[in-house]
Structure formats: C-alpha cells, structure tokens
C-alpha cells in the first residue's frame, strides 16, 4: 500500500506534435512540470503519445513516406530524448507513465514505461499484440511485457495496458494478479463526428451515456452516406455474422463507448483506480495524417480522459473532446481496502484450486547460442518454465 492515503494524479488530454520527436518530447517535459506544479504525484500519457498514434493506417496501411518519418521520430530507450524525460521527472519529483512508439533498431513497438520521481525507469513493456491494422507498423511484445505492475515509491502499485489489451481477459487477469492499485488505460484519440456535437459525444463515450441518443446525435451530424461509402460491401464484402445494427451504429457503439466501458470494467474487476488517458487530434493532426473526412480519426476531438474509482464510478468531469488540459483527481488509497473487503478476484474471491492461469514471462531472444550457459543454462530455463506452470 502507498505511504500516503491520498495520491493526487494528473491524466493528460493533449495533442502531440505529430511525427516530431523533439517537439513532442519538449511538450512532454513541459506537461510533466505543469502537473508537478499542481502537486500531482503521478502524471500519465496516452498510447504512443510520442510521436503520436499513426491514424493513417486505418485508411491506407501502405504509406512509405509517413512510415519512414514515423520510424525516424519514434523514441529509443537509450536516447538523449528519453534521458530528457527522465530528468524532467526527477527535477519535478513526479512519477510518469509514458506511452510511446519504441524504436528498437528501427523496429517499432507500442511501448509503456513507468519512471519514478527519482527519474529511474522502473517498468518497461510492449503491447503484446498490436490491434488489427497496427500490425502493419508494430511488432509484438514478449513475455517480459506481462510484468506490467510495479511498486512506485510514495504512490503504490502502478500498472498499465494499451487500448484493446483491455479486451483480453487472460492478460487483464494476469495484470490483476500483480495487485495493482492504480491502472493506466492508455488509448488513442476516439474520433469525433462533427463540430457541434462534441459535448454530447463526450458524454456518450462514458457508460452513463444513452446509446440511442448517442446514435441519434451522431447521425444528425454526419450524413449516413459518408459512412456508407467507407464501410460499403465493396470494402467489407464478408460479414461473419448477421447484425441488426447499421454500419454507423456498429461504428458508434465500438469506438464511442468501447474505451470508457472497458476502462470502467477493469476498475470494477480489479478493484483498482483506473486513469483512462486519451490524446486529442486537431485539424493540423488530421492534415498530418492525410485522413480528412475519414470516419476513423478524420474529425477533430478524440479526448475523453477520465479517472474511475475502484467501484467503477467516474470521478472526474470530461474536459470536452477537443480541449487540451489535465484531468486531476485525489485518490483515497484506503478505498481499495474497503472495496476489496467485498471482492478480490485474485484473493479471497477466487478459486485457484478450480481455475488458474498459466503465463510465460521470459524474454524471447532471436538467437540462442550454445555458449550462453550451455546445458546448465538450458536446465535453469527448463526449471523456470516448470515453475511458471506450477510443476515444481
């Protein structure tokens, strides 16, 4: 448990400087300092905040020009830019959860790291399976990415997942098993319909929102033909199952409500605080991606940063989907004790004698040489695997 009963957190809702490593790192350091001046002890950033989410992949997966620029502006751990961010955390005496596109010898990964208030990186992970079109840009994380929760001094046990990793029950349960107290749910921008419905759509993104009114608001703002053109049978000739919903209803349900619902459910299942973090996207961002008018990411907005309590309630008011700013909240860590009196899914409210999860948390190397430990090394690796399986 954290040393302080009350922990003030800052959830960012800002726009990156798209595909510009130096400028986005500048902005990151500035935001770290601003959050600290508001007495926050933890500040969190969204999925691939640096150098921004590659939204063009949902319109045209092959863009060599943007792809090359994206690789060159992605962040490496052993870089001056990462050192600057760590220094900013140390100077401000604030912990940071950072989402970024990790450049590892020009292969990219959707990465998260946790930096403590001393400026030390205490957790590194990669999204274990990039989602759908993201796989045209990013590789997979290995078993070490399952170790995604760490004790952060003065705060508590902090962990994180990216985007639709919150749809993976086994991954979520493994995260829960590490007894996290503050969870960072990092998301890309959730696209906005048209100017004039921002506040209604922002409200509808939370699970308090009424689905029917959300669809009505969106249909009023965007001609159905625009969605129909992009999601026509010519582009999507195969339906795996019949659906009573129109294309616009399916798209709205999936994107507008999904992030909030999944973040809220994780708060309830894990009995943890969830910091749900989105960036925004402006006209400049849409132009940078060349996605003007596209149903996905082709409209301004995208922000719905929020804090959820361990009972699932939304603790913060929305800023507005196109508004840059911080969402602040004071977390009473003693609430975790009260909530877990009733249910602890990896403690007293579980049956590991009946149901259990297996996990392989080892690093997977591309080359295994005989000289690296020999038979003794292989035996040690075998024992480690058996321990993971509960066979020792």
**HEC profile for 336-364?**
HHHHHCCCCCCCCCCCCCCCCCCCCCCCC
Report whether 340 contacts 157 (CB < 8 A). no
Alpha helices (H) along the chain: 21-37, 64-72, 80-92, 169-176, 198-205, 211-221, 224-230, 247-270, 283-289, 334-340, 374-388
Spatial contact of 146 and 161, defined as CB atoms under 8 Å apart: no
| Distance (Å, whole) CA 327 – CA 303 | 11
φ and ψ at 74, to 5 degrees?
-85, 165
Tokens for 362?
A: 């080892």
Residue 316 near residue 330 (C-beta atoms within 8 A): no
Cβ neighbours, 10 Å, residue 268: 18
What are 282's two structure tokens?
């402006």
Q: Report the interhelical angle of 211-221 vs 198-205 (nearest 10°).
A: 150
The contacts of residue 243 (CB under 8 Å, 6+ apart) are 250
Q: What is the pTM of this model?
A: 0.82
**Rounded-to-integer distance, Cα 97 and Cα 326, Å:** 14
Return the active site residues: 47, 127, 163
* Buried/exposed code over 204-230 (b: 16+ C-beta within 10 A; e: otherwise): bbbbebeeeebbebbbebbeeeebeeb
Q: How many alpha carbons fall within 13 Å on the CB side of residue 42? A: 33
Q: What DSSP state is assigned to residue 270?
A: H
Joined tokens for residue 130: 């990039």
Q: What is the pLDDT, as a whole number, of residue 262?
A: 92
Q: According to the model, what pLDDT value does residue 244 have?
A: 42
Cβ atoms 146, 139 nearer than 8 A: no
pLDDT in tens, the chain (392 residues): 445 699 999 999 999 999 999 999 999 999 999 999 999 999 999 999 999 999 999 988 789 999 999 999 999 999 999 999 999 999 999 999 999 999 999 999 999 999 999 999 999 999 999 999 999 999 999 999 999 999 999 999 999 999 999 999 999 999 999 999 999 999 999 864 444 434 343 333 333 332 333 333 334 333 434 434 433 444 433 333 344 444 544 554 455 567 888 999 999 999 999 999 999 999 999 999 999 988 778 889 999 999 999 999 999 999 999 999 999 999 999 999 999 999 999 999 999 999 999 999 999 998 988 876 655 566 666 666 666 666 54
Peptide bond into 51 cis (omega under 30): yes
Looking at residue 113, the DSSP 8-state letter turns out to be E
For 29-47, the three-class secondary structure string (H helix, E strand, C coil) is HHHHHHHHHCCCCEEECCC
The pLDDT of residue 252 is 43
pLDDT at residue 274, rounded to an integer: 98
Order of strands across the sheet with 306-308?
149-152, 156-162, 182-186, 273-277, 306-308
| Separation of alpha carbons 15 and 343, rounded Å | 38
């Amino acid at each position: 448990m954290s040393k302080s009963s009350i922990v003030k957190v800052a959830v960012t809702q800002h726009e990156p400087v798209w595909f510009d490593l130096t400028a986005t790192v500048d902005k990151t350091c500035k935001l770290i300092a601003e959050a600290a001046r508001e007495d926050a002890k933890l500040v969190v950033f969204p999925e691939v905040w640096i150098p921004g989410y590659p939204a063009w992949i949902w319109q045209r997966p092959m863009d060599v020009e943007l792809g090359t620029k994206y690789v060159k502006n992605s962040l490496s751990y052993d870089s001056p830019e990462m050192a600057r961010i760590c220094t900013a955390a140390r100077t401000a005496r604030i912990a940071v959860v950072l989402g970024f596109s990790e450049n590892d010898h020009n292969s990219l990964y959707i990465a998260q790291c946790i930096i403590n208030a001393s400026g030390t990186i205490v957790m590194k992970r990669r999204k274990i399976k990039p989602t759908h079109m993201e796989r045209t840009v990013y590789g997979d994380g290995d078993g070490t990415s399952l170790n995604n929760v760490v004790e952060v001094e003065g705060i508590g046990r902090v962990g994180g997942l990216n985007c639709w990793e919150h749809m993976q029950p086994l991954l979520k349960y493994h995260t829960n098993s590490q007894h996290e107290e503050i969870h960072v749910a990092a998301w890309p921008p959730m696209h906005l319909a048209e100017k004039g419905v921002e506040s209604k759509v922002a409200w509808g993104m939370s699970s308090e929102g009424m689905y029917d009114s959300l669809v009505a608001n969106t249909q009023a703002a965007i001609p159905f033909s625009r969605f129909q053109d992009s999601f026509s049978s010519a582009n999507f000739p195969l339906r795996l199952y019949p659906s009573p919903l129109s294309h616009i209803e399916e798209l709205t349900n999936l994107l507008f409500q999904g992030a909030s619902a999944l973040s809220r459910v994780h708060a309830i299942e894990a009995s943890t605080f969830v910091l749900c973090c989105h960036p925004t996207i402006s006209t400049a961002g849409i132009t940078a991606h060349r996605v003007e008018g596209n149903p996905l990411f082709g409209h301004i907005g995208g922000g719905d940063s929020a804090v959820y309590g361990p009972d699932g309630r939304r603790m913060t008011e929305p800023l507005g989907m196109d508004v840059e700013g911080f969402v602040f909240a004071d977390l009473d860590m003693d609430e975790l004790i009260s909530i877990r009196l009733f249910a602890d899914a990896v403690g007293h409210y579980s049956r590991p004698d009946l149901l259990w999860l297996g996990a392989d948390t080892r690093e997977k190397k591309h080359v295994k040489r005989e000289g690296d430990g020999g038979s003794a090394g292989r035996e040690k690796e075998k024992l480690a695997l058996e321990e993971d399986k509960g066979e020792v």
